[in-house]
Amino acid sequence: MPATLHNGNAGRVTATRAAHKAIAALRAAHGRPVMFVQSGGCCDGSDPMCFPGGEFALGEGDMLLGVLDGCTFHIDADLYQALGRPRLVLDVEEGTPGGFSLAAGDGLRFVTHIQDPDETRARTHPPSEELIMKAAVVTDFGKPLEIQDLPVPEPGPGQVLVRMEASGLCHTDIHAAHGDWPVKPQPPFIPGHEGIGPVQAVGAGVSEDLIGQRVAIPWLGSSCGTCRYCLSGWETLCQSQVNSGYSVDGCYAEYAVADAGAVVQVPDGVSSFDAAPLTCAGVTTYKAIKVANVVPAERVAVFGIGGLGHLAVQYARLVGGFVTAVDLEPDKLGLAHKLGADQIVNARTHDPVEEIKKAGGADVAVVLAASAKAFEQAYRSLNRGGRLVMVGLPADNASINVPIFETVLGGISVIGSIVGTRQDLAEVFALHAAGRTQVIAEQRRLEQVNESFDEVLGGRAEARLVFEF
Ligand X SMILES: NC(=O)c1ccc[n+]([C@@H]2O[C@H](COP(=O)([O-])OP(=O)(O)OC[C@H]3O[C@@H](n4cnc5c(N)ncnc54)[C@H](O)[C@@H]3O)[C@@H](O)[C@H]2O)c1
**Least distance from ligand X to the Cβ atom of residue 133, Å:** 25
Nearer to ligand X, 33 or 334 (CB): 334
Contacts 24+ apart (CB under 8 A), 142-148: 142/177, 142/178, 142/179, 144/450, 145/177, 145/191, 145/252, 145/449, 145/450, 145/453, 147/446, 147/447, 147/449
Size, binding site for ligand X by CB under 6 A: 34
Q: Which stretch binds ligand X (CB under 6 A): 55-63, 87-95, 150-158, 168-176?
A: 168-176
**Taking CB within 5 to 8 Å according to partner kind, which of Zn ion, ligand X, none is near residue 223?**
Zn ion
Cβ atoms of 188 and 138 within 8 Å: the answer is yes
Q: Which residue is nearest to ligand X (CB)?
A: 306
Query: Among Zn ion, ligand X, none, what binds residue 230 when CB lies within 5 to 8 Å by partner kind?
Result: Zn ion
Nearest CA among 442, 455, 451, 460 for reference residue 136: 451
The count of chain residues that interact with Zn ion, using the rule CB under 5 A, is 8
With contact defined as beta carbons under 8 Å apart, do 374 and 367 qualify?
Answer: yes
Q: Which is nearer to ligand X, 131 or 138 (CB)?
A: 138
Q: Which of ligand X, Zn ion, none does residue 371 bind (CB under 5 to 8 Å by kind)?
A: ligand X
Give the whole-angstrom CA distance, residue 410 versus residue 422.
34
Using an 8 Å Cβ cutoff, are 130 and 154 in contact? no
Report CA dihedral (201, 251, 262, 309) to the nearest 10 degrees: -150
332 - beta bridge partners? none
Of 332, 387, 422, 444, the residue at the interface with ligand X (CB under 6 A) is 332
Which of the stretches 24-32, 113-121, 139-147, 220-228 binds Zn ion when contact is defined by CB under 5 A?
220-228
Residue 269 binds to ligand X (criterion: CB under 6 A): no
Q: Which of 371, 407, 413, 450 binds ligand X (CB under 6 A)?
A: 371
Helices (H) and strands (E) in the chain, counts: 14, 26
Q: Return the residue of 27, 178, 290, 373 that touches ligand X, per CB under 6 A.
A: 373
Nearer to Zn ion among residue 16 and residue 423 (C-beta)? 423
Which position among 238, 288, 347, 446 is part of the footprint of Zn ion (CB under 5 A)? 238
Which of ligand X, Zn ion, none is residue 283 near (CB under 5 to 8 Å by kind)? Answer: none
CA–CA distance, 432 with 337 (Å, rounded to integer): 20
CA-nearest of 160, 392, 428, 137 to 276 is: 428
Residues 285-314 that bind ligand X (CB under 6 A): 303-309
Please give the helix or strand (H or E) that residue 461 lies within, else none.
Answer: none
Does residue 369 touch ligand X according to CB under 6 A? yes
Q: What track of x and - describes contact with ligand X for positions 399 through 438 (by CB under 6 A)?
A: ------------------xxx-------------------
Strand partners, 146: 137
Decide: is 244 part of the binding site for Zn ion (CB under 5 A).
no
The minimum distance between CB 172 and Zn ion, in angstroms, equals: 4
Which span (165-173, 313-321, 426-434, 444-452) binds ligand X, by CB under 6 A? 165-173
Please tell me the distance from the alpha carbon of residue 62 to that of residue 332, in angstroms, as a whole number: 56
Buried/exposed 133-160: b ≥16 CB within 10 Å, e otherwise: bbbbbbeeeeeebebbbbbbbbbeebbb
Q: Mind giving me the DSSP string for 243-306?
A: EBTTTB--SSBSEEEEETTT-EEPPTTS-HHHHHHIIIIIHHHHHHHHHTT--TT-EEEEE--S
- Residue 95 backbone phi and psi in degrees, to 5: 145, 160
> Judged by CB under 5 A, which of 150, 177, 230, 270 binds Zn ion?
230
Q: Is 172 in the site for ligand X (CB under 6 A)?
A: yes
Stretch that binds Zn ion, among 172-180, 288-296, 381-389, 461-469 (CB under 5 A): 172-180
| C-beta of 103 vs 237, nearer to ligand X | 237
Binds 329, which of Zn ion, ligand X, none (CB < 5 to 8 A, cut-off by type)?
ligand X
- Which residue's CB is nearer to ligand X, number 62 or number 329? 329
Residue type, position 167, single letter: S
- 393 CB-near residues (< 8 Å, 6+ apart): 172, 175, 180, 181, 370
Reference 13, options 115, 117, 99, 160; nearest CA is 115
CB of 303 to ligand X, least distance (A): 5
Among the listed residues 7, 46, 112, 172, the single contact to Zn ion using CB under 5 A:
172
Rounded-to-integer distance, Cα 461 and Cα 469, Å: 20
By CB under 5 A, name the binding residues for Zn ion. Answer: 170, 172, 223-224, 227, 230, 238, 280
By CB under 6 A, name the binding residues for ligand X. Answer: 170-172, 175, 280-281, 284, 303-309, 326-329, 332, 347, 368-371, 373-374, 391-393, 417-419, 456, 459
